[in-house]
């Protein structure tokens, strides 16, 4: 039986004064476990520690056998890989068939597509029959066809599997256990919540627990405050009684006054207030102790501070045409995008999805200009990075503060946009682009693979934002669950050789919006 055990792991990066992990212990048996959470919370670090590629400051890692690690990017072939590439044992041949690998691919590795390289990388890991397999974002940039092949191969793996991914549909198909990583702030270590549920249910369970915990904190704070107020009132009464029962300020010859005080003392007339005060103090201290024992709670804030959208007053119409890229021709029928419609553009890589999306964007610009439309590109070049950073730095203090708050909700530390620092990561640029675009209150948004480079927290927040209002949405995404939750129709781009065409059909299924009428 395969297993992996991490015992009392402590880890700090040399550049940080705060440990990332403190006394973290986890055990894994056969089966897949999803590692999820915002960027910077320790998912990849833990994966590297589990794979033996990063040494913890203290603690131990024990595995029942060999460990294989697949990083996000394919890093080329090693000398010993060729023995597995040309292995003709039935199990190896079967695995290459499942992954859609042909022998000719082995001879042109440098020219393989991203999906082909990822399938080759997964094959090389699985063919070594490791006891533990660690995958970091295995579905990035994969189309539906490649993703299905990788999923089928991984389902046959019977060892310990750890997978970092933002693709919820892929995780749901593979894993029934979820680790959720979080950090309450830069000065705090990471916490890891272990929930034996698929990823979507696990995040719902996490939110439910945090809401319950927050309610407990609020109830305890209210009760401790009420008891404190009662205690202060009784302290005043007891102090007044103590003064009234003191003989210090009476005339020694006033025997009547002294007698009344002695009678009150003997009968315990004011003793009950003091006893009640002590009892209330004991209860208050108990409530405060319960409060201290509860974890600090910070609920995930949904939405943005300024996330309203304008509405289109008429459909965006795209006339039938032929789009060309080199020798490839994509035939596009007449398409209407009605106000408030959410359209998903799908198809395999290379079919022409981005070609179509750019044409739709050009048509929108020619009709309405950039004021009512926003386009989130798939990748960012140096010019895009410069443009976004200049736009951020040009904001006044109030606007910048609001944008920083919104970026924080998407799991982004805006300090990376300061002058003099290295260029922000693609994920940070994408979050900034999304926030700045939404603040312009567009009526139409076109998004080309918006979940690329985003963590799961940001994806769920973006999903909530886009689902609200009458925004007209055109979306390209390999994230099936993201599409299903947002879109009400599909534009399927198919390719045969040097020609392609666009097919239009409504979507139907749980979680999708009601269908609009009158489409072309």
Q: Do 372 and 259 belong together in one domain?
A: no
Handedness of CA 437, 443, 444, 450 (dihedral sign): positive
Check residue 215 and give its pLDDT.
Answer: 67
Domain-located, residue 181: yes
Check residue 302 and give its pLDDT.
Answer: 55
Given pLDDT bands bounded at 50, 70 and 90, which one contains residue 245? low
Check residue 473 and give its pLDDT.
Answer: 95
Choose the weakest-confidence range: 147-151, 258-262, 267-271: 267-271
Checking if the pLDDT of 259 tops 80, the result is no
Checking if the pLDDT of 196 tops 80, the result is yes
What are the tokens at 424?
């922000």
Domain-located, residue 382: yes
In total, how many domains does the chain have? 3
CA distance 107 to 205: 48
Q: Which of 413, 452, 460 is nearest to 432 (CA)?
A: 413
Q: Do 170 and 30 belong together in one domain?
A: yes
> Can you tell me the mean pLDDT for 432-446?
92
Checking if the pLDDT of 248 tops 90, the result is no
Check residue 111 and give its pLDDT.
Answer: 82
Checking if the pLDDT of 352 tops 50, the result is yes
**Largest CA-CA distance found in the chain, in angstroms, rounded:** 120
> Can you tell me the mean pLDDT for 316-335?
94
Checking if the pLDDT of 72 tops 50, the result is yes
Domain-terminating residue out of 196, 218, 246: 196
Query: Looking up tokens 């965006």, which residue turns up?
Result: 316
How confident is the prediction for the chain on average, in pLDDT?
83
Residues in the chain: 520
Phi-psi region of 275 (alpha: psi -120 to 50; beta: other; left: phi over 0): alpha
Check residue 253 and give its pLDDT.
Answer: 60
Checking if the pLDDT of 25 tops 90, the result is yes
DSSP-based helix, strand, coil % in the chain, nearest 5: 45, 20, 35
State the helix-helix crossing angle for 426-438 and 456-467, rounded to 10 degrees.
20
Q: Do 24 and 134 belong together in one domain?
A: yes
Domain-located, residue 517: no
What are the tokens at 403?
């944008």
Q: Do 488 and 360 belong together in one domain?
A: yes
Higher-scoring residue by pLDDT: 210, 365: 365
Checking if the pLDDT of 150 tops 60, the result is yes
Q: Do 238 and 380 belong together in one domain?
A: no
Check residue 507 and give its pLDDT.
Answer: 56
% of the chain beyond a pLDDT of 70: 79
Q: Do 91 and 230 belong together in one domain?
A: no
Handedness of CA 219, 222, 224, 226 (dihedral sign): negative
Query: Pairing mode, if any, of strands 373-376 and 444-448?
Result: parallel
Check residue 266 and give its pLDDT.
Answer: 43
End-to-end CA, the chain? 57
Could you list the residue range(s) of the whole structural domain that residue 429 is in? 316-506
Check residue 286 and give its pLDDT.
Answer: 67
Domain-located, residue 374: yes
Higher-scoring residue by pLDDT: 35, 212: 35
Q: Do 156 and 232 belong together in one domain?
A: no
Domain-terminating residue out of 133, 165, 196: 196
- Residue 497 CB neighbour total at 10 angstroms: 7
Domain-located, residue 201: no
What are the tokens at 161?
């599997």
The helix (H) or strand (E) run that includes residue 238 is helix 199-244
Choose the weakest-confidence range: 86-100, 287-301, 442-456: 287-301
> Can you tell me the mean pLDDT for 402-408?
86
Given pLDDT bands bounded at 50, 70 and 90, which one contains residue 188? confident
What are the tokens at 417?
């946009």
> Can you tell me the mean pLDDT for 477-495?
91
Checking if the pLDDT of 2 tops 80, the result is yes
CA distance 104 to 275: 89
Backbone angles phi and psi of 190, in degrees to 5 = -75, 145
> Can you tell me the mean pLDDT for 467-472?
83
Q: Do 328 and 260 belong together in one domain?
A: no
Q: Do 67 and 8 belong together in one domain?
A: yes
Cα 278 to Cα 129, 235, 273, distances in angstroms: 68, 10, 9
Choose the weakest-confidence range: 147-151, 319-323, 450-454: 450-454
Cβ within 8 Å of residue 49, ≥6 positions away: 6, 9, 11, 55, 56, 61
Check residue 288 and give its pLDDT.
Answer: 65
Choose the weakest-confidence range: 94-108, 295-309, 383-397, 489-503: 295-309
Phi-psi region of 188 (alpha: psi -120 to 50; beta: other; left: phi over 0): beta
Q: Do 182 and 232 belong together in one domain?
A: no
Domain-located, residue 301: no
Cβ within 8 Å of residue 45, ≥6 positions away: 11, 20, 21, 54
What are the tokens at 515?
């269908």
Query: Looking up tokens 């925004």, which residue turns up?
Result: 471
Q: Write 14-20 long-range contacts (CB < 8 A, 24+).
A: 18/186, 18/187, 18/188, 18/189, 19/57, 19/189, 20/45, 20/189, 20/190
- Report which listed range, 74-78, 186-190, 414-418, is most confident: 74-78
Cβ atoms 487, 473 nearer than 8 A: yes
Check residue 425 and give its pLDDT.
Answer: 82
Given pLDDT bands bounded at 50, 70 and 90, which one contains residue 210? confident
CA distance 241 to 272: 11
Q: Which of 99, 89, 87, 92 is nearest to 155 (CA)?
A: 99
Q: Which of 141, 195, 144, 132 is nearest to 166 (CA)?
A: 141
Q: Do 279 and 325 belong together in one domain?
A: no
Domain-located, residue 285: yes
Which pLDDT tens digit goes with each residue over 266-314? Answer: 445 456 666 676 776 776 676 666 656 655 545 445 567 777 888 888 8
Check residue 478 and give its pLDDT.
Answer: 87
Higher-scoring residue by pLDDT: 39, 7: 7
Residue 136: give its domain's CATH number.
Answer: 3.40.50.300
Query: Pairing mode, if any, of strands 489-496 and 31-37?
Result: unpaired
Q: Do 61 and 131 belong together in one domain?
A: yes
Domain-located, residue 311: no
> Can you tell me the mean pLDDT for 386-391?
91
> Can you tell me the mean pLDDT for 80-91?
86
């Amino acid at each position: 039986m395969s297993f992996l055990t991490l015992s009392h792991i402590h880890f700090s990066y040399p550049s940080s004064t705060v440990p990332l992990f403190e006394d973290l212990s986890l055990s894994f048996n056969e089966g897949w476990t999803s590692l999820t959470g915002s960027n910077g919370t320790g998912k990849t670090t833990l994966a590297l520690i589990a794979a033996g590629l990063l040494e913890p400051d203290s603690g131990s890692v024990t595995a029942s056998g060999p460990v294989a690690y697949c990083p996000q990017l394919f890093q080329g072939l090693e000398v010993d890989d060729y023995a597995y590439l040309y292995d003709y044992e039935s199990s190896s041949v079967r695995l290459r068939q499942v992954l859609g690998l042909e022998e000719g691919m082995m001879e042109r590795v440098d020219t393989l597509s991203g999906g082909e390289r990822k399938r080759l990388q997964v094959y090389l890991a699985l063919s070594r029959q490791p006891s533990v397999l660690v995958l970091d974002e295995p579905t990035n940039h994969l189309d539906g066809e490649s993703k299905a092949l990788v999923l089928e191969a991984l389902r046959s793996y019977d060892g310990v599997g750890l997978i970092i991914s933002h693709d919820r549909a892929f995780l749901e198909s593979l894993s029934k256990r979820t680790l959720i990583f979080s950090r309450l702030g830069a000065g705090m270590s990471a916490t890891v919540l272990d929930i034996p549920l698929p990823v979507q249910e696990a995040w719902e369970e996490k939110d439910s627990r945090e809401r319950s915990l927050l309610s407990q904190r609020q109830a305890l704070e209210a009760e401790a405050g009420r008891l404190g107020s009662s205690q202060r009132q009784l302290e005043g009464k007891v102090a007044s009684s103590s003064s009234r029962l003191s003989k210090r300020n009476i005339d020694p010859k006033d025997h009547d006054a002294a007698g009344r005080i002695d009678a009150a003392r003997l009968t315990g007339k004011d003793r009950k207030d003091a006893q009640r005060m002590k009892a209330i103090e004991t209860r208050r201290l108990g409530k405060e102790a319960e409060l201290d024992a509860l974890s600090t709670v910070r609920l995930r804030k949904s939405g943005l501070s300024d996330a309203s959208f304008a509405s289109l007053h008429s459909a965006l119409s795209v006339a039938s045409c032929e789009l060309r890229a080199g020798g490839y021709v994509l035939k596009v029928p007449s398409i209407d995008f009605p106000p408030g419609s959410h359209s998903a553009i799908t198809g395999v890589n290379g079919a022409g999805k981005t070609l179509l999306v750019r044409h739709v964007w050009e048509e929108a610009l020619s009709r309405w200009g950039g004021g009512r439309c926003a386009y989130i590109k798939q990748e960012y070049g140096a010019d895009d990075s410069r443009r976004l950073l200049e736009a951020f730095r040009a904001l006044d203090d109030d606007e910048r503060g609001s944008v920083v708050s919104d970026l924080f909700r998407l799991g982004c530390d805006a300090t990376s946009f300061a002058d003099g620092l290295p260029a922000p990561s693609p994920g940070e640029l994408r979050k900034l682009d999304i926030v700045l675009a939404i603040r312009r209150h567009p009526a139409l948004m076109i998004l080309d693979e918006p979940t690329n480079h985003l963590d799961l927290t940001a994806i769920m927040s973006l999903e909530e934002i886009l689902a609200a209002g009458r925004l007209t949405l055109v979306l390209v995404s390999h994230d099936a669950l993201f599409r299903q939750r947002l879109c009400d129709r599909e534009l399927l781009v198919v390719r045969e050789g040097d020609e392609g065409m666009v097919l239009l059909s409504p979507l139907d299924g749980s979680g999708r919006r009601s269908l609009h009428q009158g489409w072309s």
